[in-house]
């Protein structure tokens, strides 16, 4: 890669906006730099399933032309962005990392994709993911395994591993992902970047291919909290096409970002520091809490007693919803149709058998079982009751705390293939993130250090519903005092 490419691709989105405003580089030059970085790095990282080079350059040139004419431009004008491949993009293949949607070209844009176009962002392409967002390592994709830019032998996390790795590898300054049980925050932690899951309903899910509809939420990846606020400003807000999207007023998340929140109280749940937490992860998180305390925070030990049931609850609720949502992929209505079948039932069976991977099949079977006659009361309905108790725990905690802090993931990135044969061990990678989705609250992961193997560690901050502004200000308070967000992975 050229020196100019390296210089531009290591910049944040906010810096790229300023570079264009000063006339130091235009949108086309910036876009070419990121496309060059993708060509140089992605054969090793494997973040992208599709790079839309011609369309990206055409968009960039159009922005430069409009700028030269003095026309008003959007807030992300000329900033490249990567989009997770379960978010619909009109005229561009959207596979969800699955063979069953290998040739699906959406006839419409997702709400967030529309917002990106309106903001004049440059969409570089679609990123890899665990099939239908079901996984914690991006090893479940039907197409390729994405690698962690900090160590190519390790996983980047999942399910939004492609979007996280693209930012960490400086192949895109910002990206979009989705978070159903930690699929933004966990890969953000493992890749050393910032990942935000907004409140359920803060961002429209229109055009997001559903996994578990009551848990899914589109969110952001970036190098720093400022870029997170910029991107959230673009995608948040009411959309009548999503009945769960709220009409709550959207503040300017950048307006008070640099103003420290004082005084503020951080709740530290004792359940988040129990067995299974890596010692180096705990050390970095404790040091982050000490730093926040030195900057005016009151640290208060709290309890989230029902969080111990979060994994079990999640894998009943999410799989039940998944089994329903994925019923449409039958070879008739949507998706791959088997060429070898003897009758209608055989066609359904073979189409789904050939199109879905093993993890998706596992979750469909779990969901069908929990919803089946004789078991729905014992499993699914009981899980819904526990979900309510988990939300009640958070409501009680936020009565006395501004945010709840703890580790994002129990370990740093593990080796590719290390947990592939042990689904339960893989599920436990999301032990600290799942309860946030069950409660519908916002959560952010910010980098807070590295372990002895130079793998990133993330600090998770959770907030009350629609408290993203407060969450971002506290995250920025920590970020300003530390160097972690400035570090960039160097790919050999």
Residue 22, token pair as written in the block: 């000063």
Q: Looking at residue 374, what is its pLDDT?
A: 87
CATH code, domain carrying 159: 3.90.1300.10
> How far are the Cα atoms of 136, 260, 406, 410, 445 from residue 430, in angstroms, in the given order?
7, 30, 13, 8, 13
Confidence check: pLDDT of 456 > 80: yes
Q: Partners of 177 in the beta sheet?
A: 219
Q: What is the DSSP letter of 429?
A: G
For the chain, give the mean pLDDT.
Answer: 96
| pLDDT cut 90: percent of the chain above it | 92
Q: Looking at residue 3, what is its pLDDT?
A: 76
Hey, which residues are catalytic here? 84, 159, 183
Q: What is the pLDDT of residues 95-115, one digit of tens each?
A: 999 999 999 999 999 999 999
> How far are the Cα atoms of 112, 161, 181, 387, 453 from residue 178, in angstroms, in the given order?
11, 10, 9, 20, 28
Q: What is the pLDDT of residues 8-64, one digit of tens each?
A: 999 999 999 999 999 999 999 999 999 999 999 999 999 999 999 999 999 999 999
Residue 446, token pair as written in the block: 């910010």
Sheet holding 456-463, edge to edge: 48-51, 122-127, 80-84, 174-178, 218-222, 194-197, 443-450, 456-463, 403-407, 264-269, 297-302
Please report how many Cα atoms fall inside a 13 Å half-sphere around the Cα of residue 271, on the Cβ side: 17
Number of domains in the chain: 1
> What is the reported pTM?
0.97
What's the whole-number mean pLDDT along residues 461-474? 98
Domain around 302: 1-492
Helix (H) or strand (E) holding 3: helix 3-9
Q: Looking at residue 376, what is its pLDDT?
A: 93
Angle between helices 382-398 and 310-325 (to 10 degrees): 120
Q: How many helices (H) and strands (E) does the chain have?
A: 16, 11
Q: What is the DSSP letter of 329?
A: -
């Amino acid at each position: 890669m050229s020196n100019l490419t390296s210089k531009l691709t290591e910049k944040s989105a906010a810096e790229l906006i300023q570079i264009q405003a000063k006339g130091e580089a235009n949108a086309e030059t910036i876009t070419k730099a990121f496309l060059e970085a993708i060509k140089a790095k992605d054969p090793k990282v494997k973040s992208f399933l599709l790079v839309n080079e011609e369309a990206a350059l055409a968009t960039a040139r159009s922005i430069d032309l409009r700028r030269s004419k003095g026309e008003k431009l959007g807030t992300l004008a000329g900033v490249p962005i990567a989009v997770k491949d379960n978010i619909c993009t009109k005229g561009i293949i959207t596979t969800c990392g699955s063979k069953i949607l290998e040739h699906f070209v959406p006839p419409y844009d997702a709400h967030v994709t529309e917002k990106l176009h309106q903001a004049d962002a440059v969409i570089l392409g679609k990123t890899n993911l665990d099939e239908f967002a079901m996984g914690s390592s991006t090893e479940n994709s039907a197409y390729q395994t994405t690698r962690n830019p900090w160590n190519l032998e390790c996983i980047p996390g999942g399910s939004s591993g492609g979007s996280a790795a693209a930012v960490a590898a400086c192949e895109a300054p910002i990206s979009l992902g989705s978070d159903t049980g930690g699929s933004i925050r966990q890969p953000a932690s493992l890749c050393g970047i910032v990942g935000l899951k907004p409140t359920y309903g803060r961002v429209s899910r229109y055009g997001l291919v559903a996994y578990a509809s009551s848990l899914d939420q589109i969110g952001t990846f970036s190098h720093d909290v400022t870029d997170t606020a910029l991107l959230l400003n673009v995608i948040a807000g009411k959309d009548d096409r999503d009945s769960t999207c709220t009409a709550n007023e959207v503040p300017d998340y950048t307006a008070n970002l640099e103003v420290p929140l004082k005084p503020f109280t951080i709740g530290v749940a004792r359940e988040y520091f129990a067995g299974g937490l890596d010692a180096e992860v705990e050390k970095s998180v404790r040091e982050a809490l000490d730093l926040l305390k030195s900057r005016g925070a009151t640290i208060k030990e709290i309890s989230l007693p029902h969080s111990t049931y979060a994994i079990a609850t999640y894998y009943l609720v999410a799989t039940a919803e998944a089994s329903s949502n994925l019923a449409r992929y039958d070879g008739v209505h949507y998706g791959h149709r088997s060429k070898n079948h003897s009758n209608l039932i055989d066609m359904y069976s073979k189409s789904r058998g050939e199109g879905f991977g093993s993890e998706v099949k596992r979750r469909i079977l779990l969901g069908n079982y929990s919803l089946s006659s004789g078991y729905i009361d014992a499993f699914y309905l009981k899980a819904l009751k526990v979900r309510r108790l988990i939300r009640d725990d958070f409501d009680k905690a936020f009565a006395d705390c501004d945010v709840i802090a703890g580790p994002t993931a129990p370990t740093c990135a593990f080796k590719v293939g290390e947990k592939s044969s042990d689904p339960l061990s893989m599920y436990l990678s999301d032990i600290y993130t799942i309860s946030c989705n069950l409660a519908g609250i916002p959560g952010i992961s910010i980098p807070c250090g590295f372990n002895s193997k130079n793998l990133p560690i993330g600090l998770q901050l959770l907030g009350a519903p629609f408290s993203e502004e407060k969450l971002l200000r506290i995250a920025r308070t920590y970020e300003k005092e530390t160097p972690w967000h400035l570090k960039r992975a160097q790919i050999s």
